[in-house]
């Protein structure tokens, strides 16, 4: 059975969605449609456990925050600067902004409704109650009064507004109380703001399964905050600000200091891009907030409380296994399990025997990529380790291993991308820590972010020096490796490792190398390389040879790649696009894209791998890499794709595409108007195959067979 998402239908009825014209769908509205698919997971009581549905509500909220902080902020910056240049769809920035606001309003309203009408009652039925203060028992209210006095009140900082106290700066994403108080002596009224502290839990535990929101506890004790004053009213509000970084990179030597300065500036002076208020806010209070924040009334979102449902992340973490996805423990890849009896497990021996294609989280990151770096750090025969770091965890064993290697006297080069969005501060700290340990730390090429996922080990073996490498689609981040779907290649192939070594030399400033044998590298090679391969498929098709294009990426935005795919479709080449997020290509349009199908898979794991398959006349050309089909990846980042030549690995990647485009698999399907249709159940309501669940079960069977359990 197919069904259109409820909010998509609502948009069509209201006419808020801009009907697509020309060749491309709008990038920003496509992203909002992706977040609607996240919301679909929160709606899906048949396929998604309850606490996971709550988590998807939190993910939706977090996604939308980042979208406004970066994408909408950039759009507003262009509007205010008078950059009235139409985008690829032909629409002006102001038109796009208006469409975003309208679409967001519908999605945010549905998000709040889903929580209040479905998720919250369902949680309560399972003994997990998210209560308002008035719903507490007398004993619970007494406990909260004591907690307020002892733990909450001391960290509050109420700020009044009067002639000697200007309107305070409202930090982005904080929950605030706008309070109106009256002086009982003079009768004068005064506005005050109380920021809800982030150092305390958002949902305070009352007893097993019972919680109350922190801001609600504060609101019911405002008489203690404003002692001697009469509290007339209070309202919750939340501001989203421009949080994108603008760093001049003309002087690479000072990039670190420039970024630190910009991070400091992020805390103040950033213009607001969205104001969220509870729907019962007093009109005069709202007018004051709009005026003082200098924000348009169109950018105000009136929603039922509570605001900021990111707090549901903590609820989703409750120890209620029956309300979550079944526990999944990744197993060691079979090609590496063969060497696990060695003490320690010898990954280098396994890589000398064959290339290993990893598929996370189904293959354990800890016993593959992490162990590769740790073994290299501990091995006395290893002379050097070179590593890129874009994002990693706060207690990263990868970083610890690199530090151990440097302290053991190995040459360690680490390329830390300190401009990784929202991880800038953490990466600056990693860079300094690695430098202090003796690692050679570089920040890449001026003007480009380094997004490629590479690790290279140089080992002194009996006959010669041998290189070993890992090329991946995801970050060296042990925690997200358990939540993100990614692929990686472990190899000792001398052609590939030579390519990786030359790329590291380029990144460290040693060469201007742009040509490789088994790698495609942006900004000089990936777009041209892919367009060349698309053109080759057209020629294969015209010559009567097998021709087909299959691509899996997070986003497809680049017009040149899109146009090449249109050309392939016009020529009759079948094109299958597996895209998690943004897709500006219009599939199935007569005379332009009739042979193109677009599918999206969302679920327990974040689909994150980038895979490329060209039928190539019957001898498939297949690759994996770090690049999405976006301008930033192809023009402003260093990305790397590696060709996959092992027939077993080619078959494995082909089987994944077969699964995603099988009519029996649960997917979302895009049409030429930009509408996504949910295709997750048979006509009788039977759920279709969940691809991630299928791969999880297969991984478990494989692990049990490997261990003999």
Write the pLDDT tens digit of every residue in 100-135. Answer: 999 999 999 999 999 999 999 999 999 999 999 999
Q: What are phi and psi of 234, to 5 degrees?
A: -145, 150
Q: For residue 306, say if its preceding peptide bond is cis, omega within 30 degrees of 0.
A: yes
CB count in 10 Å sphere of residue 190: 16
Least-confidence region, from 6-10, 91-95, 504-508, 523-527:
6-10
What is the SS3 assignment for 26? Answer: coil
In the 8-state DSSP scheme, what is residue 162? B
Ramachandran bin of 123, using left for φ above 0, alpha for ψ from -120 to 50, beta for the remaining angles: alpha
In the 8-state DSSP scheme, what is residue 483? T
pLDDT of residue 349: 93
Both structure tokens of 480: 């997200």
Q: How many Å from the N-terminal Cα to the C-terminal Cα in the chain?
A: 39
Residue 2, pLDDT above cutoff 50 = no
Share of the chain above pLDDT 90, in %: 72
Both structure tokens of 660: 């995603």
SS3 breakdown of the chain: % helix, strand, coil, rounded to 5? 40, 25, 35
Q: At what angle do helices 50-67 and 27-43 cross, to 10 degrees?
A: 160
**Domains of the chain from N-terminus onward:** 2-125 (1.20.58.310), 129-316 (3.30.1840.10), 334-517 (3.30.870.10), 521-707 (3.30.870.10)
pLDDT in tens, 637-696: 999 999 999 999 999 999 999 999 999 999 999 999 999 999 999 888 888 999 999 999
- Cα–Cα distance, 506 to 516 (Å, whole number): 12
Q: Are 248 and 183 in contact (CB under 8 A)?
A: no
pLDDT of residue 28: 95
Both structure tokens of 59: 């993910």
- Cα–Cα distance, 47 to 60 (Å, whole number): 18
Ranges assigned E (strand) in 584-636: 596-600, 606-607, 610-614, 621-625
pLDDT in tens, 287-332: 999 999 999 999 999 999 899 999 999 999 999 999 999 999 999 9
Exposed/middle/buried for 163, CB within 10 Å: 0-12, 13-18, 19+?
Answer: exposed
- Which residues are identified as catalytic? 451
pLDDT of residue 6: 40
Residue 15, pLDDT above cutoff 50 = no
CB count in 10 Å sphere of residue 473: 28
In the 8-state DSSP scheme, what is residue 672? T
Residue 246, pLDDT above cutoff 80 = no
pLDDT of residue 78: 83
Q: Which residues pair with 416 in a beta bridge?
A: 389
pLDDT of residue 261: 52
pLDDT of residue 428: 74
Residue whose entry in the numeric block shows the structure tokens 């526990």: 327
Residue 232, pLDDT above cutoff 50 = yes
User: In this predicted model, which residue has the larger pLDDT, 437 or 443?
Assistant: 437
pLDDT of residue 606: 95
Both structure tokens of 622: 């297949």
């Amino acid at each position: 059975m197919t069904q259109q998402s409820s909010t998509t239908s609502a948009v069509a009825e209201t006419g808020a969605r801009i009907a697509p014209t020309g060749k491309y769908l709008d990038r920003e509205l496509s992203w909002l449609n992706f977040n609607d698919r996240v919301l679909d997971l929160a709606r899906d009581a048949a396929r998604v456990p309850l606490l996971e549905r709550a988590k998807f509500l939190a993910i939706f909220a977090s996604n939308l925050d980042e979208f406004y902080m970066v994408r909408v902020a950039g759009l507003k910056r262009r509007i205010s600067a008078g950059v009235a240049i139409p985008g690829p769809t032909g629409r002006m920035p102001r038109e796009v902004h208006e469409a975003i606001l309208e679409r967001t309003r519908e999605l945010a309203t549905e998000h709040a409704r889903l929580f209040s009408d479905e998720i919250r009652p369902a949680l309560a039925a399972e003994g997990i109650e998210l209560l308002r203060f008035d719903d507490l028992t007398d004993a619970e209210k007494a406990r909260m009064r004591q907690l307020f006095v002892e733990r909450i009140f001391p960290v509050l900082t109420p700020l009044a507004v009067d002639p000697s106290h200007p309107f305070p700066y409202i930090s982005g994403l904080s929950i605030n109380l706008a309070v109106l108080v009256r002086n009982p002596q003079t009768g004068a009224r005064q506005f005050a703001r109380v920021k809800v502290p982030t150092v305390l839990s958002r949902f305070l535990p009352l007893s097993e399964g019972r919680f109350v929101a922190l801001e609600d506890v504060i609101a019911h004790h405002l008489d203690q905050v404003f002692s001697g004053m009469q509290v007339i009213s209070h309202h919750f509000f939340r501001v989203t600000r421009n949080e994108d970084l603008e760093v001049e990179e003309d002087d690479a030597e000072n990039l670190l200091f420039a970024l630190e300065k910009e991070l400091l500036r992020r805390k103040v002076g950033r213009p607001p891009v969205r104001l969220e208020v509870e729907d019962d806010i007093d009109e005069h209070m709202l007018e004051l907030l709009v005026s003082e924040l200098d924000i348009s009334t169109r950018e105000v979102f009136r929603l039922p409380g509570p605001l900021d449902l990111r707090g549901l992340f903590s609820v989703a973490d409750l120890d209620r296994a029956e309300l979550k996805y079944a526990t999944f423990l990744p197993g060691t890849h079979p090609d590496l399990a063969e060497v696990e009896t060695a003490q320690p497990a010898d990954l280098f021996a396994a890589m000398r025997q064959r290339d290993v294609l990893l598929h996370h989280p189904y293959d354990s990151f800890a016993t593959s990529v992490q162990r590769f770096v740790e073994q290299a750090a501990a091995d006395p025969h290893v002379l050097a380790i070179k590593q890129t770091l874009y994002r990693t965890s706060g207690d990263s064993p990868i970083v610890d291993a690199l530090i151990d290697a440097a302290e053991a006297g190995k040459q360690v080069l680490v390329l830390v991308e300190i401009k990784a969005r929202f991880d800038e501060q953490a990466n600056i700290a990693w860079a300094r820590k690695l430098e202090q340990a003796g690692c050679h730390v570089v920040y890449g090429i001026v003007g480009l972010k380094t997004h490629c996922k590479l690790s290279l080990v140089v080992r002194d073996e009996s006959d010669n020096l041998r290189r070993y490498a890992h090329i991946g689609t995801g970050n060296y981040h042990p925690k997200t490796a358990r939540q993100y779907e990614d692929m990686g290649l472990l190899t000792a192939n001398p052609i590939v490792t030579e390519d990786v070594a030359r790329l590291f030399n380029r990144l460290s400033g040693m060469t201007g190398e742009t040509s490789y044998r088994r790698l495609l590298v942006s900004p000089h090679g990936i777009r041209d390389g892919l367009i060349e391969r698309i053109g080759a498929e057209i020629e294969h098709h015209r010559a009567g040879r097998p021709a087909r294009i299959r691509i899996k990426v997070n986003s497809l935005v680049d017009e040149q790649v899109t146009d090449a795919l249109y050309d392939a479709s016009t020529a009759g080449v079948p094109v299958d696009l597996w895209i998690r997020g943004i897709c500006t290509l219009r599939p199935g349009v007569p005379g332009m894209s009739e042979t193109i199908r677009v599918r999206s898979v969302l679920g327990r794991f974040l689909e994150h791998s980038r895979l490329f398959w060209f039928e190539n006349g019957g001898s498939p050309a297949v690759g994996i890499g770090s690049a999405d089909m976006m301008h930033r990846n192809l023009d402003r980042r260093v990305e790397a794709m590696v060709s996959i030549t092992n027939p077993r690995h080619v078959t494995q990647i082909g089987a994944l595409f077969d699964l995603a485009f099988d009519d029996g698999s649960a997917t979302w399907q895009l049409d030429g108007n930009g509408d996504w249709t949910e295709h997750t159940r048979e006509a009788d309501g039977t759920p279709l195959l969940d691809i991630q669940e299928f791969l999880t079960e297969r991984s478990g069977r494989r692990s049990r067979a490997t261990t003999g359990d």
